[in-house]
Structure 1
Amino acid sequence: MTVTTLGPCRFRSPRSGFVSEEERVPANIIRGPGRDDDPGALFELAGPREMLFFDPPRVRAGIITCGGLCPGLNNVIRSLVRELHGGYEVREVIGFRMGYGGLDPRNHHEPVVLHHASVDDIHQQGGTILGTSRGPVDVAAAVDNLIRRKIDMLFCIGGDGTQRGAFALYEACKARGHALAVVGVPKTIDNDVLYVDRTFGYLTALEEARHVIDAAHNEARSVENGVAVVKVMGRHAGFIAAGATIASQDVNFTLVPEVPFRLDGEHGFLAAVIERVRERGHAVVVVAEGAGQDLFPTEPKATDASGNVKLKDIGPFLAKAIGEAFAAAKLPLTLRYFDPGYQIRSRPANCEDAVLCDMFARQAVHAAMAGKTGMVVGQLHGTFIHVPTSLIASGAKQLDTDGLFWHSVLAANQQPDRFG
């Protein structure tokens, strides 16, 4: 799991508290009788290196934000700029605007110069001051632009699609013989990035989702036969739905992509909701956006600008099914539907995410200054690591439905292991 380095490191760092190139973090830290003692992958430990590939005062760095919004984007931008300027005395930091489209001069998104004053209070704002977009990168045009602007390092803040684009830039620069450090900062509130214990924005998303669930619970229990359905983000992983359920303790049904479910039948989801309302008078349902996709008719799959398969909207589908089931059972129903997705992801980062953003950003700068490239800053066992981008882009993390986290969900809401 050694990350590519651009070349020999010849410049002494102005920092202190150095990390050795030889230090490694094992993927598996659990030991004991009956367990495999193989530590698995061994990742480079992140942190400042004593010797640098780049001469700091001569560096020109670039920053880009891509994909959907996420709490903490501005925090990462701010800490990148502060560490580059304050920690390493880098003289120029460029912010490329509107995602990967900003790397193509034909789109006329002129980049901005970032300095201490321009990022001073941006951490208090949601969104990203650089703007963002979805869509692939024109690699040839982007590399030409980066070379023309004499960019030495590019920090790519985004999810798996962004990191696939970053890997393409890394490979193209390598083929062109241009020494560009391409370092990714993993971003997704879904918390589904491999080799990252927790992505920034996830805890803020849980906090905001809990506020919505509290409102949904109040609505449902204040009327006769009240049912509230709350849809949260989570295309392929149900970490937000699961975490919000545990934090709230007022959710009765949690539906996630990792656990298929049936609507109809004696042991189906709809029968369980009806039984819950008959017994307790109300119910709260939390569903991740990627849950239940197999319930829709099979048809050709459309994709968005980032290449992601467009999901069918499970929230209204589920609400309609619940309404029809109650009508068939001749039960009165008061249904409330909540879809807080954009509200959640556009919020500023909370305290815990703000700390995590700062740590991710500073580790990214340390890596780039040492000439690390084609990598993403990861986090395992509470320790920051260097992960080859190819690994990050190879798949996504999902809930372990046999693990403690999911069993905590089932303990909190008392729903069956499976519906159907």
Structure 2
Amino acid sequence: MTQDDILQNPEKYDLSIESVGQGTLRSPMSGVPFVSDSDRVALTTDTKKLQDFFNKGIEVPSLETAGPRETIFHDPAWTRAGIVTCGGLCPGLNNVIKSLVTVLWFDYGVRNIFGIPYGYRGLNPSYGYPPIMLNPDVVDAIQDDGGTILGSSRGNQEPSVMVDTLMRLNINVLFCIGGDGTLRGAHAIAQEVKKRKQPISVIGIPKTIDNDLNLIDRTFGFETAVLSATNVITSAHNEANGAFNGLGLVKLMGRDSGFIAAYAALATTVVNFCLVPEVPFTLEGENGLFKALENRYDCGKTHAVLAVAEGAGQHLFDGQEERRDASGNILKKDIGEFLTLKIKEHFEKVGKEINIKYFDPSYTVRSIPAKGTDAIFCYQLAENAVHAAMAGKTDMVVGSMNGTFSHVPIEYAVSERRKIDPNGALWHAVLGATRQQDYFTGKRRKK
């Protein structure tokens, strides 16, 4: 289910947000513009599509607008909030934790805030991890550090066991910070809570460095990851320039979506070849990667830079055993090491010189603190997550759609990964910046 699917068949999809109950308490916030549940964010800004909906008398598909509500469901004096971080590390985790604590404490007066250690494991008593009491003093400077002060883990836990723990701790608001696996876990918790008819709000905050959640334009950590990747690409470019027929080969994160590689290629403008999961490529033949590299060197260039997303070229490993991580994600084969070996072998075979410098900055990129506007975005996501939770919303994730913060049903956010459109403006820009098609097609080669 993609955004286009919803726009084409809006009657098939229900984008409403569930609630644990009607808000009857006046919000303690003052001097802020309150948002109504009737305020919506359209899924498209295309005027032709909008006019088409109007002409047909069909309501434009939209998401509930995020923001503070004038009346809330959870009484701050009796609210006990839990915060959990799951999955791999990502820039901004500590920013989000601090922001959640700050907004809960100062805007709503919530004084009982628990940090759940090591992801969903912390909600399983068999692991024996006690919760961490959080307050503004505890989180005062954590935004300066990468990673998460709560720790993280992958893998599923039994929803009934986790809900038992929430009820035992009297937690009535749970913030789940993570990607698609984490959000699926949050959805399972929300469903179990609903089955038990408990007034526990479960709110997701989108953490995926790959920027690939459905119906969400942007996730925190992505911008910092791109910034970090550009520094590595610059180093790869310098290394490639320092040797005859040098090749700086950089593997970047991106299991199924190549947004980091694509944006980093545009940001640096020194990448000559960008390979992403969404666009297949071959190694051999007149239009293969080997020949494209030969064409670049043959036309007088003495260096090249290649950025490859980790999920690109997985078809080259067909027949090899499939492995999965604790969260059930398919572990991608190492395309970086593979290309380094195969390119070297090919150039030796054809009797041409090549000097490959291989960079794999994956863990460096994801473990640094959020920078600049990314850090601001972390606060805004956390702020809107708290507003949603205190209003009694549940089984939803805070997102950004067309520049406006919105509420997305978790089930839809994880239904399908957002990917680069090979025929879209982003990929067209990448092709324009790299000029790689000139080498793949032989337009630029030795005359």
Query: Taking structure 1 as reference, are residues 87 and 159 closer, same or farther at Cα in structure 2, changes over 3 Å only?
Result: same
Out of 361, 365, 368, the residue aligned to residue 340 of structure 1 is 361
Out of 397, 404, 419, the residue aligned to residue 383 of structure 1 is 404
1:224-373 matched pairs, under 5 angstroms: 224-278=244-298, 279-373=300-394
Tell me how far 1:212 sits from its aligned partner. Answer: 0.3
Identity %, equivalent residues: 49
Separation of aligned partners in 2, 1:163 and 1:417: 42
Query: Taking structure 1 as reference, are residues 39 and 357 closer, same or farther at Cα in structure 2, changes over 3 Å only?
Result: farther
Counterpart AA for 2:289: F
Residue 87 of structure 2 corresponds to residue 71 of structure 1: no
Tell me how far 1:325 sits from its aligned partner. Answer: 1.3
Q: Give CA deviations for 1:16-41 in whole Å, capped at 9, x if unaligned.
A: 32001111111011113997446752
* Structure 2 gaps, min length 5: 1-14, 442-447
Counterpart AA for 1:212: V
What's the secondary structure of 1:117's corresponding residue? Answer: coil
What's the secondary structure of 1:119's corresponding residue? Answer: coil
Tell me how far 1:419 sits from its aligned partner. Answer: 5.3
> Who is 1:218 aligned against?
238
Q: Give CA deviations for 1:306-336 in whole Å, capped at 9, x if unaligned.
A: 0001111100001111101111120112111
* Structure 1 gaps, min length 5: none
Query: Taking structure 1 as reference, are residues 155 and 209 closer, same or farther at Cα in structure 2, changes over 3 Å only?
Result: same
Counterpart AA for 1:296: F
Separation of aligned partners in 2, 1:221 and 1:8: 64
Out of 37, 58, 63, the residue aligned to residue 21 of structure 1 is 37
Query: Taking structure 1 as reference, are residues 243 and 138 closer, same or farther at Cα in structure 2, changes over 3 Å only?
Result: same
Q: Give CA deviations for 1:60-88 in whole Å, capped at 9, x if unaligned.
A: 00000000000000000000000000000
Separation of aligned partners in 2, 1:222 and 1:410: 25
Residue 114 of structure 2 corresponds to residue 100 of structure 1: no
Tell me how far 1:297 sits from its aligned partner. Answer: 2.8
RMSD of aligned residue pairs (Cα, Å): 1.5
The number of residue pairs the alignment matches comes to: 420
Cα contact 1:375–1:386 (8 A) shared by 2: yes
**TM-score normalized with structure 2 length:** 0.92
> Who is 2:171 aligned against?
151
What's the secondary structure of 2:226's corresponding residue? Answer: helix
Cα contact 2:324–2:331 (8 A) shared by 1: yes
Counterpart AA for 1:23: D
Counterpart AA for 2:70: E
Cα contact 1:189–1:205 (8 A) shared by 2: yes
Q: Give CA deviations for 1:335-377 in whole Å, capped at 9, x if unaligned.
A: 1100000000000100111000000000000000000000000
**TM-score normalized with structure 1 length:** 0.98
> Who is 1:88 aligned against?
108
- Higher mean alpha-carbon deviation, 28-37 vs 17-26, is at 28-37
> Who is 1:32 aligned against?
48
> Who is 1:184 aligned against?
204
Residue 17 of structure 2 corresponds to residue 3 of structure 1: yes
Query: Taking structure 1 as reference, are residues 173 and 34 closer, same or farther at Cα in structure 2, changes over 3 Å only?
Result: closer
Tell me how far 1:137 sits from its aligned partner. Answer: 2.0
Cα contact 1:263–1:419 (8 A) shared by 2: no
Separation of aligned partners in 2, 1:293 and 1:398: 16
Cα contact 1:67–1:132 (8 A) shared by 2: yes
Separation of aligned partners in 2, 1:178 and 1:204: 38
Cα contact 1:261–1:419 (8 A) shared by 2: no
> Who is 1:396 aligned against?
417
What's the secondary structure of 1:162's corresponding residue? Answer: helix
- Higher mean alpha-carbon deviation, 381-390 vs 136-145, is at 136-145
Out of 122, 135, 146, the residue aligned to residue 155 of structure 2 is 135
Separation of aligned partners in 1, 2:193 and 2:218: 30
Query: Taking structure 1 as reference, are residues 295 and 419 closer, same or farther at Cα in structure 2, changes over 3 Å only?
Result: farther
Tell me how far 1:299 sits from its aligned partner. Answer: 3.7
Separation of aligned partners in 2, 1:176 and 1:186: 26
